[in-house]
Homo-oligomer: A and B are copies of this chain.
Amino acid sequence: MYNLTKLKIKKPAHVVFEAFVDPAHIKNFWFDSSSRWEQGTTVTLRYEEYDAQIDIELIEVEVNKKIVFRWGGEGEAGNIVTISLNEMDSSRTIIEVREDGFREDDDELISILLDNKGGWVYMLTCLKGYLEFGINKLRAAIVH
């Protein structure tokens, strides 16, 4: 079971890539990150407004193309998130986020998937607002 979300962003892939891996950028549309995202490292993400914190393990980082990380759960138990950047031309990139690992026998499966889907769509729209319009105040407004 997985969630897949795609959004078109009017920026080249290297700009979208840097927005995730550079702590100076990612905090403007998503989490605070403890350090730059490098393959093989673990970074701590913190969402102050929701008092939420999570470690992510960066399994694969292919510059300007792909980021794969594991989060949630202990050790191998976490979900796998794959962020792929498909540059259409020098001014447009389709960003795709796929999260794998949801347990189909989970009693709360639907509710977990829905929250997860909402989170990805929200983050990607905040990313678009940040990269295309320089707005860093769209985030942290979802009410749970």
Q: Verify if A23 is at the interface (C-beta below 8 Å from B).
A: no
Which of B8, B114, B122, B143 lies in contact with A141, CB distance below 8 A? B8
- Copy number in the complex reads 2
Which of B9, B110, B143 lies in contact with A7, CB distance below 8 A? B143
Nearest CB of B to A128, in Å = 6
Please report the C-alpha to C-alpha distance between residue A22 and residue B105 in the assembled complex, in whole angstroms.
45
Q: Type the 1/0 row for A119-138, where 1 means its CB is closer than 8 Å to any CB of B.
A: 01110011011001101011
Which of B5, B96, B113, B125 lies in contact with A138, CB distance below 8 A? B125
Q: Verify if A46 is at the interface (C-beta below 8 Å from B).
A: no
Q: Verify if A39 is at the interface (C-beta below 8 Å from B).
A: no
Contact A135 B133, CB 8 Å, known A3-B114, A117-B117, A142-B7: yes
Which of B6, B94, B121, B129 lies in contact with A121, CB distance below 8 A? B121
- Chain B positions within 8 Å of A110 at CB level: 109-110, 113
Contact A138 B143, CB 8 Å, known A113-B114, A118-B117: no
Please report the C-alpha to C-alpha distance between residue A75 and residue B135 in the assembled complex, in whole angstroms.
42
